[in-house]
Copies of this chain bind each other. A is one copy, B any other.
Amino acid sequence: MLAAWVDGVAGSDLPISDRALHYGDAIFTTLRVHAAQACWLQAHLQRLQQAADALRMPMFDWSAVHADIERAAAHPQAGVVKVILSRGDGARGYAIDGSIGRRLVVVYGRPATDPAIHARGVALRIADLVLSDQPALAGLKHGNRLEQILARSECVDPGIYDVLLADARGHVISATSANLFARFGDEVRTPLLSRAGVAGVARSRILQQLAGTAVVTEIALDSLYLADELFLSNCVRGIVPVRSLGDHRYTGMATAQALMRSLHTSLGLPIP
């Protein structure tokens, strides 16, 4: 962590009464910084607004959130900016009456990710943890992340980049911190996120890019072994091809490579 701001004021402390701390009562987003600019800033702001509405959060000053992010991105070592919008201070208990919200912005250095992941692809495995269904929270990047933490802690083998999570019906949802795409012939599919998962900003960008050939649909976990190509998307690490899922290997990378060519330059990421 390089620096932080709370409601626009430089500082790295937060009152103990904040509801993000008590209940995970917050939403967040994470932006990549390239050439002192926060990448895809408007899309991140729009997603924060949608999540704030869905969770009936207090009204945030969106121009102040915008200014917070730009200031953080201007930090000379900035690599990643994280924005957390909390419901703010609360009395004891779950009731949300009268909360006024709090903006937290943190700037981190460049992520330590190995750039070779884009050329070689990564190894995944299937998580043991099964994601719960909660339509009221599905799609939102909210502050209740214990499922992702438990799933991530299954990655004890350093050769495994991440795990894929499925729901109780056996439909794949995502990795712990990336969305998933699977190509079957000419058709690219990404999981429907109406019951679980986070609708990532990079995922939306890819869906725009692939308009006409990409579909959002339920994807049976088992069907992934029939795919010609898998890749992950994330706003910080960009497009990451998948080399293997458990013992199954993938050799196709055509769509991931095309997307890296069209999207990675603006993110300051390599094009292999």
Which A residues are within 8 Å of any B CB, using their own CB?
1, 4, 6, 11-18, 20-26, 28, 30, 55-56, 80, 82, 84, 86, 92-96, 104, 106, 108, 111, 129, 132-134, 136-137, 142-153, 155, 168, 176-177
Cα–Cα distance between A149 and B12 once the two chains are bound (Å): 27
Cα–Cα distance between A94 and B145 once the two chains are bound (Å): 8
- Pick the most buried of A142, A146, A168, A177: most chain B CB atoms within 10 A of its CB: A146
Neighbour of A149 across the interface among B96, B134, B145, CB < 8 A = B96
A8 to chain B, nearest CB (A): 14
A169 to chain B, nearest CB (A): 11
A15 to chain B, nearest CB (A): 6
Cα–Cα distance between A25 and B144 once the two chains are bound (Å): 8
Copies of this chain in its oligomeric complex: 2
A23's nearest neighbour on chain B, judged by CB, is B145
A272 to chain B, nearest CB (A): 23
Residues A95 and B23 in contact, CB atoms below 8 Å apart: no
Residues A92 and B108 in contact, CB atoms below 8 Å apart: yes
Cα–Cα distance between A15 and B106 once the two chains are bound (Å): 12
Cα–Cα distance between A14 and B13 once the two chains are bound (Å): 5
Residues A55 and B12 in contact, CB atoms below 8 Å apart: no
Residues B22 and A23 in contact, CB atoms below 8 Å apart: no
Query: Which residues does chain B contribute within 8 Å of A111, judged by CB atoms?
Result: 92
Query: Which residues does chain B contribute within 8 Å of A20, judged by CB atoms?
Result: 20-22, 24
A19 to chain B, nearest CB (A): 8
Query: Which residues does chain B contribute within 8 Å of A28, judged by CB atoms?
Result: 22
Query: Which residues does chain B contribute within 8 Å of A16, judged by CB atoms?
Result: 1, 4, 6, 11-14, 104, 106
Residues A137 and B133 in contact, CB atoms below 8 Å apart: no
Residues B136 and A142 in contact, CB atoms below 8 Å apart: no
Query: Which residues does chain B contribute within 8 Å of A6, judged by CB atoms?
Result: 16
Residues A142 and B146 in contact, CB atoms below 8 Å apart: yes
